[in-house]
């Protein structure tokens, strides 16, 4: 009979105390595993969501706010950029692709953010190596809409359904009359796209109130370019010129249900605005010379700013999310340490009842080192059994919580995902068990056989 078998039989003799002790370790490991898996998922989601583009061009202001609003749609837009500036970016020879974003409205049902954009958005990989997939088709006509998987699930929308949007956020009571039709439902991506509604940018500008008043638009464009403000006479002449050149668009040839009675004229470009522009530089390399050069140019000017989303998210993860993660790690580690102390107390208290047993073993020829190893093995077995139980319970907890988290937040969690740090937990438990089992093992090692048997 080897040492491990003897240790196992000794644990079985104190089955209730042993089970409770192992369970306390298991609960600590369960929390640790859940934190590791969920934190790993969140980090991947944040990093992946920010890695599809080299830069985000937006108004001057908070760089982090620009990223959170454009990529994650969790903050209010800083300001808008003139649509004409977006057209200028299209002509920049250093840029491979520019994709405009127009934000600010939400759905009446569910208050999901609405993004006005162009069909090119769905042709670009949302993360490296992954393309959008959809049931139905992507944006084609002005009043088409493509919805994320979480939007479809929560609102119960299907292809062909129509919806209206609320101007200025969920708390506004300004509901637009125009209706958009669901023509595509995105497959789950595990990104903020799952909780977003995308509409055609041309349709966005046909909605009443989405065009800037012409006099303000002209002044804004001249100020944006640093030109001298217009006199009243010059402004009126400019307004008449723009109105004459723009005219009214003919019927686009599509039968948009729910739009009868509305005059959807073509908005002059000067009256259009975008919230931000997603940019992919030629070469598509993070930190490339063209990217750095372009950022430097905007930084020196007054028009806009170019923000690297990966860098901003890395700062967020390191300085804010990282601190929360550290606190959770400390708390779960303390739980495991307290459980280890429980193992120490359990084994140490049992030593007084086992002195005669140990003395008999010694009298039958067991060496001091053998007795020492048996007690130490008990401590390690209790910790390891609790650790293995905790690993299973941790992934079981994530498995149960995954659909709930997905339904509430749109965050896709793979319950079978495995973090490398979980491997370290096993090693840490062995070391911890050795430490807490050392003193009881020394006590057993020093047992006086003659005195114990005579007593």
Residue 20 is predicted with a pLDDT of 82
The pLDDT-based confidence of 229 (bands split at 50, 70, 90) is low
Mean pLDDT of the residues in the chain: 78
Q: Enumerate the β-bridge partners of residue 98.
A: 279
Quote the pLDDT of residue 454: 63
Highest mean pLDDT among 275-279, 313-317, 346-350, 445-449: 275-279
* Closest by Cα among 154, 147, 132 to 182: 147
**Is the confidence at residue 13, as pLDDT, over 80?**
no
In this prediction, residue 126 carries a pLDDT of: 80
Angle at 52 between CA 105 and CA 285, to 5 degrees: 140
- Distance (Å, rounded) from C-alpha 309 to C-alpha 46? 10
Q: For 20-33, how does the pLDDT look when each residue is reduced to its tens digit (9 = 90+)?
A: 878 888 888 888 88
User: So what's the pLDDT on residue 183?
Assistant: 95
**Mean pLDDT (whole number) for 229-244:** 68
Of 82, 86, 108, the C-alpha closest to 97 is 86
Quick check: 280 and 90 in contact, CB under 8 A?
Answer: no
Distance between CA atoms of 46 and 41, rounded to whole angstroms? Answer: 9
Rounded Cα–Cα distance for residues 410 and 74 (Å): 13
Q: Structure tokens of 355?
A: 């002195």
Residue 286's pLDDT is: 47
Residue 375 pLDDT level (bands cut at 50, 70, 90): confident
Closest CA to 428 of 384, 389, 376: 384
Q: How confident is the model at residue 57 (pLDDT cuts 50, 70, 90)?
A: very high
Cα–Cα distance measured from residue 336 to residue 121, given in angstroms and rounded to the nearest whole number = 47
Q: Cα separation of 427 and 423, whole Å?
A: 7
Instruction: Report whether pLDDT(265) > 80.
Output: no
Q: What pLDDT is attached to residue 250?
A: 40
pLDDT of 374 strictly over 60: yes
209-213, 283-287, 396-400: range with highest mean pLDDT: 396-400
Please name the residues in contact with 243: beta carbons below 8 A apart, sequence gap of 6 or more: 214, 268
Q: pLDDT tens, 405-433?
A: 766 655 667 667 777 777 788 788 888 77
Model confidence at 295, pLDDT cuts 50, 70, 90, reads: confident
pLDDT value for 86:
92
pTM: 0.70
Give the highest mean pLDDT range of 65-69, 174-178, 200-204, 287-291: 200-204
b (16+ CB within 10 A) / e for 340-349: bebbbebbee
Phi and psi based region of residue 365 (left: phi greater than 0; alpha: psi -120 to 50; beta: remaining) = left
pLDDT-based confidence at residue 143 (cuts at 50, 70, 90): very high
**pLDDT, tens only, 148-202:** 998 998 899 999 999 988 876 545 567 778 899 999 999 988 788 888 999 999 9
Specify the pLDDT at position 262: 46
Position 255 scores a pLDDT of 43
Give the pLDDT mean for 123-149.
Answer: 89
Greater pLDDT, 445 or 77: 77
Contact 58, 298 (CB under 8 A): no
Instruction: Return contacts of 11-17, CB within 8 angstroms, 24+ apart.
Output: 11/378, 11/381, 11/382, 14/346, 14/350, 17/346, 17/350
Is the pLDDT at 96 greater than 50? The verdict is yes
């Amino acid at each position: 009979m080897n040492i491990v078998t003897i240790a196992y039989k000794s644990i079985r003799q104190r089955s209730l105390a042993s089970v409770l002790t192992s369970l306390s370790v298991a609960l600590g490991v369960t929390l640790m595993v859940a934190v590791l898996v969920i934190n790993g998922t969140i980090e991947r989601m944040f990093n992946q969501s920010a890695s599809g583009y080299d830069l985000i061009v937006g108004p001057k202001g908070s760089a982090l706010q620009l990223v959170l609003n454009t990529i994650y749609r969790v903050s209010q837009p800083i300001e808008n950029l003139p649509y004409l500036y977006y057209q200028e970016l299209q002509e920049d020879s250093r840029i491979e692709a520019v994709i405009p974003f127009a934000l600010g409205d939400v759905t009446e049902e569910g208050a999901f953010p609405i993004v006005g954009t162009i069909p090119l958005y769905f042709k670009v990989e949302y993360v490296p190596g992954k393309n959008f997939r959809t049931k139905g088709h992507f944006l084609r006509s002005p009043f088409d809409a493509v919805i994320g998987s979480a939007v479809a699930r929560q609102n119960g929308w299907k292809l062909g359904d129509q919806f209206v949007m609320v101007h200025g956020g969920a708390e506004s009571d300004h509901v637009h009359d125009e209706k958009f039709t669901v023509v595509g439902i995105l497959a789950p991506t595990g990104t903020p796209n799952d909780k977003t509604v995308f509409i055609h940018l041309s349709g966005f500008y046909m909605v009443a109130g989405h065009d800037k008043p012409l006099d303000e638009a002209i002044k804004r464009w001249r100020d944006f370019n640093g030109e001298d403000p217009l006199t009243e006479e010059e402004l009126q002449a400019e307004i008449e010129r723009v109105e004459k050149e723009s005219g009214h668009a003919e019927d686009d040839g599509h039968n948009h249900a729910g739009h009868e009675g509305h005059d959807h004229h073509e908005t002059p470009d000067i009256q259009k605005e975008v919230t931000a522009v997603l940019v992919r530089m030629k070469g598509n390399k993070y930190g490339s010379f063209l990217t750095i050069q372009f950022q430097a140019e905007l930084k020196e000017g007054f028009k806009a700013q170019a923000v690297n989303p990966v860098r901003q998210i890395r700062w967020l993860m390191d300085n804010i999310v990282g601190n929360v993660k550290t606190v959770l790690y400390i708390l779960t580690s303390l739980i495991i340490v307290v459980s280890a102390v429980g193992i120490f107390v359990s084994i140490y208290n049992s030593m007084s009842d086992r002195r005669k047993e140990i003395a008999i073993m010694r009298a039958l020829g067991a060496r001091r080192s053998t007795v020492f190893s048996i007690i130490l093995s008990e401590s390690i077995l209790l910790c390891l059994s609790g650790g293995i139980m905790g690993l299973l319970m941790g992934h079981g907890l994530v498995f149960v919580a995954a659909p709930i988290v997905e339904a509430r937040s749109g965050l896709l969690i793979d319950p079978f995902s495995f973090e490398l740090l979980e491997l370290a937990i096993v090693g840490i438990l062995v070391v911890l068990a050795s430490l807490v089992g050392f003193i009881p093992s020394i006590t057993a090692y020093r047992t006086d056989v003659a005195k114990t048997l005579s007593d």
